[in-house]
Amino acid sequence: MFLIFMMFIISLVLIFINVIFMKMKKISREKSSPYECGFDPHSFGHLPFSIQFYLISIIFLIFDVEIALLVSLVPSLLKMFIFFWLLYSFIFILILFLGVLIEWLCGSLNWVN
């Protein structure tokens, strides 16, 4: 019960501090404008952008998630039979390899056009 009371008090203090700092803040046009990924939001919106950087970032995100799943295979070794673990690992790494191969054959991994 004491912990709940303390969490409530701490929350109220933090909200109160936020309100005080919010009233002291100076509002400017630049601070209230949305952030547009490094582009100036007050300039012309159709600046040239290389699609190659977009493709590389998407490929990185896809394979980053797959690597995170690959790391989780090691602790699962203790909970599964060795045959099923090897089969699962082989299929997963095969799918990962085929994804890299397809991206390479499509030319998405080439930095120079």
pTM of the model: 0.44
Q: Where are the domains of the chain?
A: 2-38+50-106
Q: Which residue has the higher pLDDT, 17 or 110?
A: 17
d(CA 12, CA 68): 38
Q: Number of helices and strands (H, E) in the chain?
A: 5, 0
Higher pLDDT, 64 or 26: 64
SS3 for 36? strand
Neighbours of 9 (CB within 10 A): 10
How high is the pLDDT of residue 97? 87
Q: Which residue has the tokens 């977009």?
A: 54
Please state, in angstroms and rounded to a whole number, the distance separating the CA atoms of residues 19 and 17: 5
* pLDDT tens sequence across 60-107: 887 788 778 777 777 777 777 778 778 888 888 898 888 888 888 887
